[in-house]
Structure 1
Amino acid sequence: MLKMPWKWNLIVMLIMAVYGTIVNLALLMVILSNQHLRTVSNTLVGNLALADTIMFVFSVPSDLVHHFVLNWPDNSFGNFLCKVSGSSWSLAMALSVASLTAVSIERFCSICWNVHAKRYIFILLIVWLFSLSWTVPVLVWSSVVRYGPYLSICHVLPWWHDYVARGFFTAGFVLKYVIPLLVITCCYVGTAITLAQSTPASSVTVRARRRLAIVVLILNISFAICWLPNHAIILHFFYGDIYETYKVSYALFLTFIEIAHVLVYVNSLLNPIVVFTISDAHRKPLVHFVRSRLCRQAPASNRLDRYAEFDQDGIVSETECVDVKT
């Protein structure tokens, strides 16, 4: 067993993995169980929750192997775990950024141009095709490489071609971070201008749309902040002077790597918390589902639609419900 210099991150990751898996599955349950939430925006939010669940379920176990095992298992199971480790991380990230970008574009088209996307299956197909286009190469390339009789390492890209890895990660940074954030920013500038110019006659609709816009905006900001250090470290490996970095402060650099790694899991944990905190349409069904289970009341499925569709004043509480009615 390898004694690693960091201990705090393992405890934090395990706690986040347990809690994050629960809350993301809860968000998926609410969206799938509530007919009024089966819309394009909420489908993409559910897709984001699925990506976060994949991150926790598949990536955290492989992280534990990295921390506690000196040599990666050089057998069929080790090779399988290596492929799962790299591909799950790539799939979760691509799904997250594609879902966030798609929901931002959908909100912009709905609010600014009054164009409502109806074929959410087609949108989901595009999101998944984009995500798989980044995941399949990692799945194929990932393998365990042995260095002599005592050391074996899991490589997620062809280890004999540095230019392949450099090109792949550089393209990933541009296509899965820079361009999506630019698109999201443009969408939210247009959305904010349109909502600010809305007439008082549509105050209920505007208020609901603003609430959903705030939810998606916070999700995007969280993604941008939490994933930036990870991208910075990867780009530094390929374009920076690693040896000079190690000479400056090896321990500090390793600590920064661990913080960047944990921030990715923080993002996956924050996403469902933000949705449940701000959105009544998502929080109320969950609260009443838990209460019905604890108090053994009427089946929660009979109560989900009622609490998701209306607030205490009998007014539709979310944009998605407004879109269904109009």
Structure 2
Amino acid sequence: MSEGNESVCLNGSVLDLDWFGTLEDIDVSADGSPVLRLLICLVYCAVCAAGLLGNLLVLFFLRGKQERRKSRVNFFVLNLAVTDLQFVLVLPFWAADTAMDFSWPFGDVMCRIVLSVTVMNMYASVFFLTAMSVTRYWSLASALENRTVFRRRCSAKWISAVIWTLATLATAPTSVFSSVTNVTGEKLCLLRFPGGQYWLAVYHIQKIVVGFVLPMCVVSVSYFMLLRIIQTRSMKTSNPKRRSRVTKSITIVMLSFFLCWMPNHAVTLWSVLVKLNAAHWDKSYYIVHTYVFPLTVCLAHTNSCLNPIIYCLMRKEFRDKLRGLIHGR
């Protein structure tokens, strides 16, 4: 074990190695771990297949400039599909890593690339989801108050460029401190922070706050403000069914994002509290971190194949295009 704090990378999340030395003090059977690894590999393969199909369909439907210009949301959906497609392409690497009991066979460069792409997907996806929620609210508010000047100035391309920049900056620590290291004879893809466990705690806190808490707050505020407009404003010229579909889709967006990511961030927060000595390391922590945490990672990453379903297949125009594609029209 090196002097710095080390963590095994599990598809963009990390499992601490600094507590493995104490496992002999706790009698916990690991007989289920091969079954768990097999389950994780199957989930990754399913997510990869579904994500490839769904996101490629999104890119196919939005391939024309006219489609992207119809609304800023369409442009954000296109960017969301790109980042989710990048993520599902690295899933086979994580499936192989899991199947080999986290023994990384692809070298140091691929460790940095694959881990960085995975973490960037988390940030970029949540940032685009947030931008889409704000855009939906602002579009409705602007339509009611004729704020067309601001709408023209607020370019979707500039917003997307800012989002990609922020996601890249947030991923920088992962790119810098990830590497392949020999631990007890095994080559593991690790995050190695020179400052000890407190720097790793800061890394986790950044992911929780920037990648979940703040976006969830913004999405929630945008959603409730949109509901307020729908309920209190008189919109005689608008279609009630369309407003209902917008409300339904945003509700599903919030629920899917919250349910997919909350368990993973909750376990991560528990890990942070243990690192900062604010919570005790015990048998329950080991069981949750060993058996439950990998499943929360799987659940979080299913969001990458849910996104195209939510944003495209729930919209009539895209369903019609899909039917036409299936029937050869």
Deviation at 1:274, TM superposition (A): 2.2
Write the mapping of 1:272-291 to structure 2, written as runs, cut at 5 A. 272-291=308-327
Residue 27 of structure 1: aligned partner:
58
Aligned partner (choices 91, 99, 118) of residue 89 of structure 1: 118
Contact 2:45 2:92 in 1 (8 A): yes
Structure 1 residue ranges, 4+ long, deviating more than 3 angstroms after superposition: 113-118, 241-246, 248-253
SS of residue matched to 2:134: helix
Amino acid at match of 1:21: L
Q: Cα deviations across residues 265-284 of structure 1 (Å, max 9, x unaligned)? A: 22222221223442102221
> Which structure is higher in helix share?
1
- C-alpha distance in 2, partners of 1:4/1:212? 44
Find the residue that maps to 1:156 and give its secondary structure. Answer: strand
* Residues 178 and 43 (structure 1), Cα distance of their counterparts in 2 relative to 1, 3 Å cut: same
Assess, with a 3 A threshold, how the Cα gap between structure 1 residues 137 and 247 changes in structure 2: closer, same or farther: closer
Are residues 272 and 17 of structure 1, via their aligned partners in 2, closer, same or farther at CA, if it must alter by over 3 Å?
Answer: same
Q: How does 1:245-256 map to 2 (within 5 A)?
A: 247-248=283-284, 250-251=286-287, 253-256=289-292
For residues 207 and 286 of structure 2, the distance between their equivalents in structure 1, rounded to whole angstroms, comes to: 27
**1:53 counterpart letter in structure 2:** L
Contact 2:204 2:272 in 1 (8 A): no
Find the aligned partners of 2:189 and 2:113 in 1 and give their Cα distance: 11
Match of 1:182 among 205, 209, 217: 217
RMSD (CA atoms): 2.6
In the superposition, the TM-score normalised over structure 2's length comes to 0.78
Distance between the aligned counterparts of 1:88 and 1:262, measured in 2? 16
Distance in 2 (CA, whole Å) between partners of 1:70 and 1:141 is 18
Q: Partner residue of 1:10?
A: 41
Kept in 2, the 8 Å contact 1:100–1:220? The answer is no
Alpha-carbon distance change, 10 to 246 in structure 1, aligned in 2, over 3 angstroms = farther
Q: 2:287, 2:312 → 1: CA distance?
A: 38
CA distance 1:35–1:154, change in 2 (3 Å): same
Match of 1:305 in 2: none
Between the two proteins, the alignment pairs up a number of residues equal to 286
Shift of 1:159: 5.7
Q: Choose the corresponding residue for 1:80, options 109, 119, 138.
A: 109
Residue in structure 2 matching 1:257, options 282, 293, 298: 293
The equivalent of 2:74 in structure 1 is: 42
Matched-pair contact (CA < 8 Å) for 2:48–2:91: no
- Which range is displaced more, 231-240 or 246-255? 246-255
Is there any run of 5+ residues in structure 2 with no aligned partner, and where? 1-32
Provide the residue aligned with 2:23 in structure 1: none
Cα distance in 2 for partners of 1:85, 1:66 equals 14
Aligned-partner Cα distance in 1 for 2:198–2:101: 29
1:209 Cα deviation (Å)? 4.3
Map of 1:158-197 to 2, 5 A cutoff? Answer: 158=193, 161-197=196-232
TM superposition shift of 1:180 = 1.2
Please give the alpha-carbon distance, in whole angstroms, between the structure 1 residues aligned to 2:203 and 2:177.
12
Counting aligned pairs with the same residue, the percent is 23
Provide the C-alpha distance between the structure 2 equivalents of 1:54 and 1:86, rounded to a whole number of angstroms.
12
Higher alpha-carbon deviation: 157-166 or 268-277:
157-166
1:157–1:196 CA distance, 2 compared to 1 (3 A): farther
Counterpart contact for 2:44–2:91, Cα < 8 Å? no
Which is richer in strand? Answer: 2
The whole-number CA distance in structure 1 between the counterparts of 2:285 and 2:229 is 49
8 A contact 2:45–2:95 mirrored in 1: no
Counterpart in 1 of 2:267?
233
Moved more, 52-61 or 249-258: 249-258
Question: Partner of 2:251 in structure 1?
Answer: 217
Distance 1:280 1:29 in 2: 16
Between 1:115-124 and 1:99-108, the stretch displaced more is 115-124
SS at match of 1:32: coil
Q: Deviations over 1:203-231 (max 9, x none)?
A: 32x54344234323322321121111211
**TM-score normalised to the size of structure 1?**
0.78
Q: CA separation in 1, counterparts of 2:285 and 2:56?
A: 40
Question: Could you tell me which amino acid in structure 2 is paired with residue 140 of structure 1?
Answer: V
SS in 1 for 2:236: helix
Which residue type is aligned with residue 267 of structure 2?
Answer: I
What do the CA deviations read for 1:287-319 (whole angstroms, capped 9, x no partner)? 212322xxxx5xxxxxxxxxxxxxxxxxxxxxx
Q: In the alignment, what sits opposite 2:234?
A: 199
